[in-house]
């Protein structure tokens, strides 16, 4: 799936749904709405818009073909009629998908095969209980994802070979170093290790971005409190060098997820907190349970986040104010982008802000076992 196209379409549809709800059911909304209808009609993906009363208010030609809806039964573009969803798409799975998106307030996905062709459906909740559903052939979607992942994987593997050779050269130089070139050799080794980490992170991020929520996960019961301690044990030598301590919950809290991916999520979050904490500081991890959800929070005692940090923190290669970083260790710039993709793959969300008592606060919300993959 073209992720940029999907995000743009979701944004435009969100604006349209809000505009319609504010204007009631008024017709003649102006050229902006007419232009939007043209975009939806020409979209390569199918679009179906359902109101809060389970009526289809818009369906584009691509959706009609994918759902095998005849022109006589499908609602046409302007004027917008009310056609029951059950009449346009008599499938309990699709009706349940729309209801789940509305109830949970977050996007829901469904692999569905009404005929010979398997479809991928994404339900996007909007204002006034309206829901937009994106439909696309799963066959073409998987082909695009496989092509992109294969390309990134090929590039990453091509880079690994010369990087490994250069690291061996760096080690050889380090064994023969003298006072005149020790600084240059150490810098060479640091930069090569950084490039090696960057290649690995790019490959991991590509895999995550090409994984649909709930897909490619090895689902097991994961005790988050125990996993926090396990990850911290790996970071402990780096933290103890600067006198940084961990405060974490003792009570266990279990979610259903991929242990290796959740390990990477916690590693990136805790490593980020250590790098932004002052010497002798405290990293606080919290776990909280609510109906259907688990909240994982990581707080450092650094300078906190600026408004720009909040807006861009999870973007690739974003680096905030260098004054926030208290450690000499640099990262690839992809750690928090990977965190976001792991969370999305598990059907959750992540947000960043400042703690009232100071320092940055990163919060991850993961669905409990009964909600995972909903």
Domain boundary assignment for the chain: 3-138, 141-209, 220-367
Beta-strand relationship, 282-290 and 245-247: parallel
Residue with tokens 């993961």: 366
Which residues touch 133 (CB under 8 Å, ≥6 apart)?
Answer: 47, 48, 49, 50, 94, 97, 98, 121, 122, 123, 124
User: Token pair of 165, please?
Assistant: 């050779």
Active site includes 157?
Answer: yes
Taking a C-beta distance cutoff of 8 angstroms, is the pair 209, 250 a contact?
A: no
Which residues touch 84 (CB under 8 Å, ≥6 apart)?
Answer: 54, 55, 56
Domain 220-367 has CATH 3.30.565.10: yes
pLDDT in tens, the chain (374 residues): 444 444 445 545 554 555 554 554 444 444 566 777 777 777 778 888 899 999 988 888 888 888 877 544 444 444 445 788 888 888 899 999 999 889 888 888 888 887 777 888 889 998 889 999 988 876 655 555 566 666 666 666 667 777 777 778 778 777 777 777 777 777 777 777 777 777 776 777 766 666 655 556 678 899 999 999 999 999 998 899 999 999 987 778 888 888 888 988 999 999 999 999 999 999 999 999 888 889 999 999 988 998 888 888 888 777 665 555 555 555 567 888 889 888 888 888 899 999 998 999 999 999 876 444 44
Catalytic residue, candidates 157, 276, 312, 355: 157
User: Token pair of 254, please?
Assistant: 């279990």
User: Residue 48 pairs with which residues in a beta bridge?
Assistant: 59, 133
Q: Please state the pTM of the whole predicted model.
A: 0.54
- As its CATH architecture, domain 3-138 has 2-Layer Sandwich (3.30)
Q: Which CATH number fits domain 141-209: 3.40.50.11440, 1.10.287.130, 3.30.9.10, 3.40.50.720?
A: 1.10.287.130
């Amino acid at each position: 799936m073209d992720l940029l196209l999907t995000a743009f379409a979701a944004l435009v549809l969100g604006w349209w749904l809000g505009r319609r709800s504010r204007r009631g059911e008024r017709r003649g909304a102006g050229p902006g709405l007419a232009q939007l209808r043209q975009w939806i009609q020409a979209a390569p993906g199918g679009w179906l818009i359902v109101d809060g009363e389970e009526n289809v208010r818009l369906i584009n030609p691509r959706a009609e073909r994918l759902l095998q809806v005849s022109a006589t039964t499908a609602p046409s573009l302007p004027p917008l009629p009310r056609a029951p969803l059950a009449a346009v798409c008599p499938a309990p799975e699709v009706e349940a998908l729309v209801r789940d998106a509305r109830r949970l307030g977050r996007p829901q996905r469904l692999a569905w095969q009404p005929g010979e062709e398997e479809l991928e459906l994404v339900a996007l909740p909007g204002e006034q209980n309206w829901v937009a559903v994106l439909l696309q052939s799963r066959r073409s979607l998987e082909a695009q994802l496989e092509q992109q992942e294969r390309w990134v994987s090929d590039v990453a593997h091509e880079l690994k070979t010369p990087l490994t050779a250069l690291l061996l050269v760096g080690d050889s130089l380090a064994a023969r170093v003298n006072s005149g070139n020790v600084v240059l050799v150490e810098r060479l080794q640091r930069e090569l290790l950084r490039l090696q980490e960057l290649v690995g992170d790019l490959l991991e991020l590509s895999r995550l971005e090409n994984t649909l929520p709930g897909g490619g996960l090895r689902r097991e019961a994961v005790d988050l409190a125990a996993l926090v301690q396990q990850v911290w044990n790996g970071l402990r030598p780096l933290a103890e060098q600067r006198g940084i301590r961990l405060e974490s919950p003792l009570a266990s809290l279990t979610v259903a997820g991929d242990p290796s991916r959740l390990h990477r999520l916690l590693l990136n979050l805790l490593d980020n907190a250590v790098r932004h904490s002052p010497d002798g500081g405290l990293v606080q991890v919290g776990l909280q349970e609510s109906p259907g959800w688990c909240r994982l929070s990581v707080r450092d005692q650094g300078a906190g986040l600026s408004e720009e940090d909040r807006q861009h923190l999870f973007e690739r290669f974003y680096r905030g104010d260098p004054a926030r970083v208290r450690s000499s260790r640099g990262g690839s710039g992809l750690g928090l982008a990977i965190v976001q993709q792991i969370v999305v793959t598990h059907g959750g969300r992540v947000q960043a802000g400042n703690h009232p008592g100071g320092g940055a606060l990163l919060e991850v919300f993961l669905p409990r076992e009964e909600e995972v993959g909903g």
